[in-house]
A and B are shown apart, each in its own frame.
Chain A
């Protein structure tokens, strides 16, 4: 079955450490996205990529970095510069600009 796989489901890190969240899709979608979700704030866009080797900052890109070396993969690194990294992170993909987003099951990151 096609879909988006995010790993791990839960991630714990100490403050000051960088951490990378994995996102893989086998839907053959060109576009991929990273969202951050905090209670009561809905979804906020971190980064998105329309095509391999290209990506754009979203609304809250500070303290995050991404790469898009393969169509299937769009890993997100949460750096030590991100001041409040504890959150639920969602990866998504879409076939085209007006197509629905397909979401992974998320990674819950806790930084202490």
Chain B
């Protein structure tokens, strides 16, 4: 069965510091992977996605993620945190063939310290 694990339910970084949010997945087939961001009382917004091809994926707001098959990881990074990055971030895996069930991690709340 597919699963997604996000290490760290809360992460704090200083403004201007590197942001690293961890995501590990398990899947019996090569997955499509997604990162979403959620601001308070809003829906989820797609940050970036990995389908096939280049393993380093660039997204919106300066975020990027690298697909590492050997480590079954898809960690999200941003070189320099901004106050506006404070939000909750979710990693997700696409459905396996024949289903429409996306699998989400439990989320990581990012706090940016001034």
| Contact status of A90 and B101, CB under 8 A, knowing A40-B9, A98-B32 | no
- CB of A43 within 8 A of CB of B90, answer yes
Q: Does A75 contact B (CB under 8 A)?
A: no
Consensus secondary structure, chain A interface: strand
Provide a sorted-by-A list of 17 A–B residue pairs whose CB atoms are within 8 angstroms: A31-B100, A33-B102, A43-B44, A43-B104, A48-B101, A56-B100, A90-B43, A92-B44, A97-B97, A98-B32, A98-B51, A98-B95, A101-B36, A101-B92, A103-B43, A103-B45, A105-B42
Which among A31, A56, A98 has the greatest number of chain B C-beta atoms within 10 A?
A98
Number of B residues, CB within 8 Å of A: 25
User: How far, in Å, is B53 (CB) from chain A's closest CB?
Assistant: 14
Q: Does B106 contact A (CB under 8 A)?
A: yes
Number of A-B residue pairs, CB cutoff 8 Å, is 60
Please measure, in the bound complex, the distance between the C-alpha atom of A20 and the C-alpha atom of B90, giving whole angstroms: 27
- CB of A42 within 8 A of CB of B34, answer no
Nearest first, the 8 closest Cβ-Cβ pairs linking A and B are A103-B43, A42-B106, A103-B44, A98-B94, A43-B104, A105-B43, A98-B32, A100-B46
A-side residues, CB < 8 A to B, are: 4, 6, 31, 33, 40-43, 45, 48, 50, 56, 58, 88, 90, 92, 94, 97-98, 100-106, 108
